[in-house]
């Protein structure tokens, strides 16, 4: 079989290292591009069988049509989320596969790292001691033990985060549209979670239903001084409402690994440029906001899993008529479980 030609968008050095080591690497021919896939860059995939993309690549209806016209057959997401792909429009044109779980531990542990850094002022202490300032003034934090954490989304990442929180002696409240059966998790309504949580951590996908889940109305229901953690998708939070909540002292701290307008900003060195996003600039300027640039996934274990799963997804998709286990399909309207109902490819 001829090698499968893959155009790899939004490529970074750590991507190349992990994909070069991936098993079955000899079956694919990968061209790495630092460029993000968008309506302006789709032509770079000409002559390819596959486009391999990440969270901020834009696969709207226009891009999908153009890729289809060029003969591209597969969209290989090297991430779990797929809100940046018009799955419905892709049906009948391009197959779509993803990496449903690369390292839930990586993301859950990063959420905890952000939380601890924030409430114990570790980032501020680090900066002080680098300047030989050993004063403790202004560094007072609070114990996690005994606090109530509200966890929105109890998939693999959410449940691991819950286990870590329980290890700290925290009380856990959770909300999920589809509660995990026999999990022992204390599920409550969203309103009850908002009203009773000292800390709220988001671990749910971005959908039309969850967009701006954290907004002016929901923040108004929260405890004064609540800490909000988001390592999922930026648009789960209305950033304007979050900033207003911080300025009014309703929100005590925000720990963010994602931002709703991150696509043209994150993963790039902007240190020598003026940041045009005024809202992000204002958030970063707040002393009680910690922002990392979508790095929660970034561990050696996760990168290796992403590479191996993605390469296997590609090979499996071209190898036979059966559905790849990780295919996303709109045939029956149930994007993630369609393959369970129809073992063969839908088109």
Task: Give the pLDDT confidence score for residue 27 in this predicted structure.
Answer: 85
Contact partners, residue 59, CB within 8 Å, separation at least 6: 37, 53, 67, 75, 84, 85, 86, 90
Looking at the fold, whether 240 and 219 belong to one and the same domain comes out as yes
Instruction: Please check whether residue 29 is in contact with residue 4, taking contact to mean a CB–CB distance below 8 angstroms.
Output: yes
In a domain, 347, yes or no: no
Looking at the fold, whether 36 and 75 belong to one and the same domain comes out as yes
In a domain, 10, yes or no: yes
In a domain, 346, yes or no: no
What gap in Å lies between CA 166 and CA 326, rounded to an integer? 31
pLDDT value at 299 more than 80: yes
Q: Give the mean model confidence (pLDDT) for residues 260-278.
A: 91
Q: Predicted confidence band at 343 (pLDDT cuts at 50, 70, 90)?
A: low
Q: Predicted confidence band at 336 (pLDDT cuts at 50, 70, 90)?
A: low
Beta strands in 146-256 (DSSP E): 148-152, 171-175, 199-202, 226-230, 251-256
Q: Where in the sequence numbering do the catalytic residues fall?
A: 233, 262, 294
Task: Give the pLDDT confidence score for residue 245 in this predicted structure.
Answer: 98
In a domain, 267, yes or no: yes
Looking at the fold, whether 78 and 150 belong to one and the same domain comes out as no
Task: Give the pLDDT confidence score for residue 234 in this predicted structure.
Answer: 96
DSSP string, 4-37: EEEEE-S--HHHHHHHHHSTTGGGEEEEE--SPP
Q: Predicted confidence band at 1 (pLDDT cuts at 50, 70, 90)?
A: low
Q: Predicted confidence band at 253 (pLDDT cuts at 50, 70, 90)?
A: very high
Apex 89 CA angle, 212 and 215, nearest 5: 5
The percent of residues above 90 in pLDDT, for the chain, comes to 82
Looking at the fold, whether 123 and 261 belong to one and the same domain comes out as yes
pLDDT value at 293 more than 80: yes
What gap in Å lies between CA 240 and CA 305, rounded to an integer? 36
pTM over 0.85: yes
Domain that holds residue 219: 104-291
What CATH number does residue 321 fall under? 3.40.50.720
Task: Give the pLDDT confidence score for residue 5 in this predicted structure.
Answer: 96
Looking at the fold, whether 23 and 118 belong to one and the same domain comes out as no
Looking at the fold, whether 12 and 70 belong to one and the same domain comes out as yes
pLDDT value at 71 more than 70: yes
Locus of tokens 């799955």: 87
What gap in Å lies between CA 93 and CA 249, rounded to an integer? 50
């Amino acid at each position: 079989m001829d090698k499968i030609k893959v155009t790899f968008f939004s490529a970074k050095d750590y991507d190349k290292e992990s994909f070069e080591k991936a098993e079955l690497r000899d079956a694919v021919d990968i061209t790495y591009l630092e460029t993000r896939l968008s309506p302006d860059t789709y032509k770079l995939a000409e002559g390819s069988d596959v486009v391999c993309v990440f969270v901020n690549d834009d696969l709207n209806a226009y891009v999908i049509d153009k890729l289809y016209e060029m003969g591209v057959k597969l969209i290989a997401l090297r991430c779990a989320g797929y809100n940046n792909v018009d799955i419905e429009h892709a049906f009948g044109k391009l197959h779509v596969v993803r990496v449903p779980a690369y390292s839930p531990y990586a993301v859950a542990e990063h959420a905890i790292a952000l939380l601890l850094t924030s409430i114990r002022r570790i980032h501020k202490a680090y900066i002080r001691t680098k300047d030989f300032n050993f004063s403790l003034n202004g560094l007072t934090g609070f114990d996690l033990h005994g606090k109530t954490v509200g966890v929105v989304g109890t998939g693999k990442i959410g449940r691991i985060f819950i286990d870590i929180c329980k290890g700290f002696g925290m009380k856990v409240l959770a909300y999920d549209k589809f509660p995990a059966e026999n999990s022992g998790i204390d599920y409550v309504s969203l309103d009850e979670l908002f009203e009773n949580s000292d800390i709220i951590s988001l671990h749910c996908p971005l959908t039309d239903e969850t967009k701006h889940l954290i907004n002016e109305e929901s923040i108004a229901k929260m405890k004064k001084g609540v800490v909000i953690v988001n390592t999922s998708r930026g648009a789960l939070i209305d950033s304007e409402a979050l900033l207003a909540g911080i300025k009014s002292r309703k929100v005590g701290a925000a720990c963010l690994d994602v931002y709703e307008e991150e696509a043209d900003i994150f993963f790039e060195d902007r240190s020598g440029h003026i940041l045009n996003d005024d809202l992000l600039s204002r958030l970063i300027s707040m002393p009680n906001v910690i922002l990392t640039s979508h790095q929660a996934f970034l561990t050696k274990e996760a990168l290796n899993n992403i590479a191996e799963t993605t390469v296997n997804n590609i090979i499996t998709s071209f190898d036979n008529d059966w559905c790849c286990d990780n295919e996303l399909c709109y045939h029956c309207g149930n994007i993630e479980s369609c393959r369970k109902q129809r073992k063969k490819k839908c088109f």
